[in-house]
Amino acid sequence: MLDQARSFLQSHFGYDSFRTGQEQAISQVLGGENTICVMPTGGGKSICYQIPALVLEGTTIVVSPLISLMKDQVDTLLAAGIPAAYINSSLSSADLYETMKSARNGEYKLLYIAPERLESYSFVEQLKQLTVPLIAVDEAHCISQWGHDFRPSYRHIQRMAELFPNDPAVLALTATATPHVREDICRLLSIKEKNTVITGFERKNLSFSVIQGQDRNGFLKDYLKKNEKESGIIYAATRKTVDQLYERLQKSGISVARYHGGMGDADRVSEQDRFLTDEATVMVATNAFGMGIDKSNIRYVIHFQLPKNMESYYQEAGRAGRDGLDSECIVLYSSQDVQTQRFLIDQSLERDRIPQELEKLQGMVDYCHTEKCLQQFIVSYFGEPYPKPCGRCGNCTDSRDSVDVTKEAQMVLSCVIRMGQRFGKAMTAQVLTGSRNKKLIEFGFDELSTYGILKKQSVKDVTNFIEFLISQELIGVEQKQFPTIFVTEQGRDVLLGKQSVMRKEAVRTKRIATDDP
Ligand code: ADP
Ligand code: ZN
């Protein structure tokens, strides 16, 4: 069957070979195994069900939430000589009737359906009459509360799968599944964990870096000057910051466009066009910009403020270097942005999602504090095994010396324990630096042996150090009404002297400032 799959790849799609992961996913599906396939956008997920659909007898059902993409997909398949159709709310009832009639006659190799359709009893009754060898679930993270786009209608998929007497294989596909989301998908769609295919998250032409402890406006000015001929995107967290940045850059003579949800439609389209046609070299935007944008020569993506989670970050940063040429992805990190993002999360309407969102935000903060390879961090965040450092990112190319900070780490860890592991970073930093904060004294923390033990440092430095210990997984964060910190197993090993802690020397911001007037 795999030979047949390969010949379809050649005859219908014009490709000579499978990409990494495609062959494994396809052979599992052809072997009747329920499978989950996690690949980044553009990785080639569609082939993983389109080819089995051609090989297998009957009509493959594809559940997809994106109505506009459904039509594109079907058009592409029809153009390649593959009979396919879609069913969603854009069809008239006459069209719906005709399509279902043809489907019952077995005229399609693929039938795309919107998940909401599964809520209709009569529709499901009709589906039952088809011969279905495979059910492909696109954007499968929508089935999980932990995904960034939970859709209750996805919960009907499993029941649909049980309708068919021949026990069709299920193939779940997604670009953004953290281990937690993957677990949900596997459990809800009866996929064995060993049938997970994850590949292709590394982007070999992108170099990631995190800049902190520097004035970001100054950094941006220098960076744009050095790269004035190159196209790039600057993402900011709020509309207000976009407007401010836009005005500032425009004043300094940079050809800049802007984009955010508060602008009128016509304005947004014309600004986007100016960027796409290279009339403007820099785009300043909120995360509203970029969906479906296909501009290949973007040389850098700078996040002026902290993105809300790794999923959004990698998607936005990934818009750089589509043409395969070397490009940069930079986060300008300042710890106060964490408060901004926390505020934005707190404003969101779905109260029950707040703990998940806060945990994901913490993943983003960890990214900014890790001293490991950043590409490695990203790839393992998405669950792909990744044995060696990339050699390109800000951390891999960092030549600063590491210093042993085990003693200092032990002071912080022991303070966290003495405070009962019920408080946040800020309060802990205040105790360590010997603050006279009233609440702290009310709790009697000024009597702890760790009170003021780091008083030579600022609260900000100690808070940063705690963030660093979190990124090293020596301290954990629990999201209650407010986040509280605790010492992890690994942290206890450090306390017991079983493990040491190394940290890169701090950036000497002063020297950078005099080098760069
Ligand atoms: P995804 O759904 O993962 O975002 P697509 O299935 O749309 O990605 O594929 C992205 C692009 O890669 C498409 O243009 C597709 O034709 C191309 N592609 C997929 N598989 C292969 C392959 N084996 N060889 C070459 N190109 C491929
Ligand atoms: Zn690296």
Q: Nearest 5 degrees, angle CA 236-CA 503-CA 389?
A: 70
Query: Does residue 353 register a pLDDT over 70?
Result: yes
- Tell me, using a 6 A CB cutoff, whether residue 43 lines ligand 1: yes
Which of 8, 9, 15 to mutate to test ligand 1, by most ligand atoms within 8 A of the CB atom? 15
For residue 348, count CB atoms less than 10 angstroms from its CB and return exposed for 0-12, middle for 13-18, buried for 19 or more: exposed
Helix axes 336-347, 354-369, angle to 10 degrees: 160
Q: What is the pLDDT of residues 134-192, one digit of tens each?
A: 999 999 999 998 777 789 999 999 989 998 999 999 999 998 777 888 999 999 999 99
DSSP-assigned beta bridge partners for residue 282? 232, 256
Q: What is the pLDDT of residues 241-264, one digit of tens each?
A: 999 999 999 999 999 999 999 999
Confidence of residue 514 (pLDDT cuts 50, 70, 90): very low
What is the pLDDT, as a whole number, of residue 32?
A: 96
Q: Give the ligand with the smallest distance to the CA of 391.
A: 2
Query: Does residue 508 register a pLDDT over 50?
Result: no
Which of 8, 46, 82 to mutate to test ligand 1, by most ligand atoms within 8 A of the CB atom? 46
Confidence of residue 9 (pLDDT cuts 50, 70, 90): very high
Q: Phi, psi at residue 62, to the nearest 5°?
A: -115, 115
CA distance 491 to 517: 42
334, 220 Cβ separation under 8 angstroms: no
Residue type, 395: N
Ion ligand 2 neighbours (CB, 5 A) are 373, 375, 389-390, 393, 396
What is the pLDDT, as a whole number, of residue 510?
A: 32
Query: Does residue 42 register a pLDDT over 80?
Result: no
Name which of 60, 56, 121, 47 is nearest 86 in CA terms: 60
Residues 181-210: what's their mean pLDDT? 93
Residues 193-220: what's their mean pLDDT? 90
Nearest CA to ligand 1 atom 19: 44
Nearest CA to ligand 1 atom 21: 44
> Residue 15 Cα, ligand 1 centroid: separation in angstroms?
10
- Tell me, using a 6 A CB cutoff, whether residue 46 lines ligand 1: yes
- Tell me, using a 6 A CB cutoff, whether residue 145 lines ligand 1: no
CA distance 435 to 217: 31
Confidence of residue 517 (pLDDT cuts 50, 70, 90): very low
Nearest CA to ligand 1 atom 27: 44
Nearest CA to ligand 1 atom 24: 15
Q: Give the ligand with the smallest distance to the CA of 202.
A: 2
Name which of 151, 181, 120, 138 is nearest 49 in CA terms: 138
What is the pLDDT, as a whole number, of residue 86?
A: 96
DSSP-assigned beta bridge partners for residue 170? 135
Name which of 479, 439, 448 is nearest 359 in CA terms: 479
Of the two residues 90 and 335, the one the predictor is more confident about is: 90
Place of tokens 């100016």: 274
Structural tokens at position 484: 């509280």
What is the pLDDT, as a whole number, of residue 506?
A: 66
231-235, strands of its sheet edge to edge: 206-212, 327-333, 298-303, 231-235, 282-285, 256-259
What is the pLDDT, as a whole number, of residue 509?
A: 37
Atom of ligand 1 nearest to the CA of 45: 3
What is the pLDDT, as a whole number, of residue 349?
A: 65
Name which of 174, 240, 175, 169 is nearest 203 in CA terms: 175
Place of tokens 């396939």: 37
CA distance 369 to 463: 12
Place of tokens 């150090």: 465
**Could you tell me whether strands 206-212 and 35-38 are parallel, antiparallel, or unpaired per DSSP bridges?**
unpaired
pTM of the predicted protein model: 0.73
Q: Give the ligand with the smallest distance to the CA of 390.
A: 2
CA distance 44 to 49: 10
CA distance 213 to 7: 55
**Cα→Cα distances 73→68, 85, 112, 473, Å:** 9, 9, 9, 43
> Residue 148 Cα, ligand 2 centroid: separation in angstroms?
27
Q: Phi, psi at residue 306, to the nearest 5°?
A: -60, 125
Among residues of the chain, what percentage have pLDDT more than 70? 97
What is the pLDDT, as a whole number, of residue 401?
A: 85
Q: Give the ligand with the smallest distance to the CA of 175.
A: 1
Query: Does residue 437 register a pLDDT over 70?
Result: yes
**Could you tell me whether strands 483-487 and 475-479 are parallel, antiparallel, or unpaired per DSSP bridges?**
antiparallel
Nearest CA to ligand 1 atom 9: 44
Atom of ligand 1 nearest to the CA of 43: 3
Quote the distance between the C-alpha of residue 56 and its chain's center: 33
> Residue 515 Cα, ligand 1 centroid: separation in angstroms?
47
Of the two residues 455 and 67, the one the predictor is more confident about is: 455
Q: Phi, psi at residue 451, to the nearest 5°?
A: -65, 125
DSSP character at residue 446: G
ipTM of the complex: 0.97
> Residue 251 Cα, ligand 1 centroid: separation in angstroms?
42
Among residues of the chain, what percentage have pLDDT more than 90? 72
> Residue 48 Cα, ligand 1 centroid: separation in angstroms?
10
- Tell me, using a 6 A CB cutoff, whether residue 41 lines ligand 1: yes
> Residue 209 Cα, ligand 2 centroid: separation in angstroms?
9
What is the pLDDT, as a whole number, of residue 507?
A: 53
Query: Does residue 511 register a pLDDT over 60?
Result: no
For residue 221, count CB atoms less than 10 angstroms from its CB and return exposed for 0-12, middle for 13-18, buried for 19 or more: middle
- Tell me, using a 6 A CB cutoff, whether residue 218 lines ligand 1: no
Residue type, 281: T
- Tell me, using a 6 A CB cutoff, whether residue 21 lines ligand 1: no
Which of 13, 69, 201 to mutate to test ligand 1, by most ligand atoms within 8 A of the CB atom? 13
Mean pLDDT of the chain: 91
Query: Does residue 512 register a pLDDT over 60?
Result: no
What is the pLDDT, as a whole number, of residue 516?
A: 31
- Tell me, using a 6 A CB cutoff, whether residue 180 lines ligand 1: no
**Cα→Cα distances 406→92, 409, 432, Å:** 68, 5, 16
Atom of ligand 1 nearest to the CA of 46: 6
